[in-house]
Each structure stands twice: as C-alpha cells, then as structure tokens.
Amino acid sequence: VPAKRADQLAEVDLGLWAGLTDQQLKSRYASAHRELREAPLNVNPPEGENLGDAEERLRAFVKKQLKRNGKAAVGLVLRPLSFAMLWRSLAGQQAPEVWEGMRHWPRPVVIDCSSEQPVFSGD
C-alpha cells in the first residue's frame, strides 16, 4: 500500500505549552486551562496554532481524502490531540469532549464513514 506524508495531518502546534503536564498548565495558565476544558476550540496557545483552526485543517483534509477515494479505504496515522479533535468533529461531540477523546482509544481505531454518522471501533 503506498503511503505519503501529509502536512495537513500534523499534530496540533501547542507552542509554548508543548510538553507541559496538565498540572503545570493549570498552575501557570489558570484561565487558559479553564478555557481549554470548557471551550477548547477558542484557545490559541502562545506561539502555537488556534485549536479551532487545527480541527478545521484536520477535518477538511480527511473529508477531501474520503471524497477523492470514494469507497476505497483510507488509512491515517495521527498523534493523540489531532486524533481526539478529528474524532470529536466527525462524531459530532461537544468541544469539551476533546480531552476525553485523547484517553478513549489507546489502540488503533477503525472509522467507518460509509454512512452519514461515522462509526468508531477499536481493534
């Protein structure tokens, strides 16, 4: 199976927050931490990528690939935050569900997009 790298699937750029634990983020950036929990798509990490823009980038790329490939399968490899944001968007979850999505599937996931509502299943 041919594989290619797609920059549109890059992990979300967390800028100066990259590498911080949840506790460190909470103590250093309390208001931003609260916003991340309540409305993460409105957050723009310092020197990073707006999370709403990142989700749109991921969703647009996947929709384009699905349309281009028709009924053929598409394989994706995503980092945890990118996967969680894409999962949230495709599954129609509320924005705060992004963080739950990062813990939801520790293994490869199959997303069946053949119907109007995507179906997620773990290996």
Is residue 5 situated within a structural domain? Answer: no
CATH number at 21 reads 3.40.50.1240
Is residue 118 situated within a structural domain? Answer: yes
Is residue 88 situated within a structural domain? Answer: yes
**In tens digits, what is the pLDDT along the chain, a chain of 123 residues?**
678 889 999 999 999 999 998 899 999 999 999 998 888 889 999 999 999 999 999 999 988 988 888 777 778 888 888 888 888 888 777 766 676 666 666 677 777 777 777 777 764
Is residue 104 situated within a structural domain? Answer: yes
Question: Can you give the pLDDT at residue 4?
Answer: 83
Number of domains in the chain: 1
The three-state (H, E, C) secondary structure of 33-66, written as one string: HHHHHHCHHHCCCCCCCCHHHHHHHHHHHHHHHH
